[in-house]
């Protein structure tokens, strides 16, 4: 199955470069459908560029704080030495949404 997801320029380019290997999403109804081995087409919101990745593993957590605890910051899309804060994800998903659905770490590999 192929899923289409949009990304801002920075995370898109980090995936393209190969340093961001964990995509962070709310585990809502749409994401509950994805499975290991499925493909995701990421669309860069700013440039329209597209890349395709394969889902290698899915990690389910109650919230982003728990997820952040288990992964190195580079794989999550942070730069070396950059301040890491799971509350950064609240720009996209509220605490209420996280409590309702849980969150998902999607381990990806460019193809």
Does the pTM surpass 0.75? The reply is: yes
Q: Are strands 39-44 and 2-7 parallel, antiparallel or unpaired?
A: parallel
* Residue 51 structural domain: 2-110
Total count of domains within the chain: 1
The per-residue pLDDT for range 23-36, each reduced to its tens digit, is: 999 999 999 999 99
The per-residue pLDDT for range 44-75, each reduced to its tens digit, is: 999 999 999 999 999 999 999 999 999 999 99
Q: What is the pLDDT of residue 71?
A: 96
- Tell me the CATH number at 15: 2.30.130.30
Instruction: Give me the mean pLDDT over the 4-21 stretch.
Output: 97
């Amino acid at each position: 199955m192929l899923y289409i997801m949009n990304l801002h320029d920075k995370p898109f380019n980090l995936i393209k470069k190969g340093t961001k290997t964990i995509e962070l999403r709310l585990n809502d109804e749409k994401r509950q459908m994805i499975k290991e081995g499925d493909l995701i087409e990421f669309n860069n919101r700013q440039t329209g560029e597209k890349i395709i990745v394969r889902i290698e593993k899915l990690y389910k957590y109650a919230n982003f704080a728990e997820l952040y605890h288990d992964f190195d910051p580079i794989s999550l899309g942070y730069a070396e030495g950059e301040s890491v804060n799971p509350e950064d994800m609240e720009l996209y998903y509220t605490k209420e949404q996280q409590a309702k659905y849980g969150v998902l770490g999607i381990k990806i590999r460019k193809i």
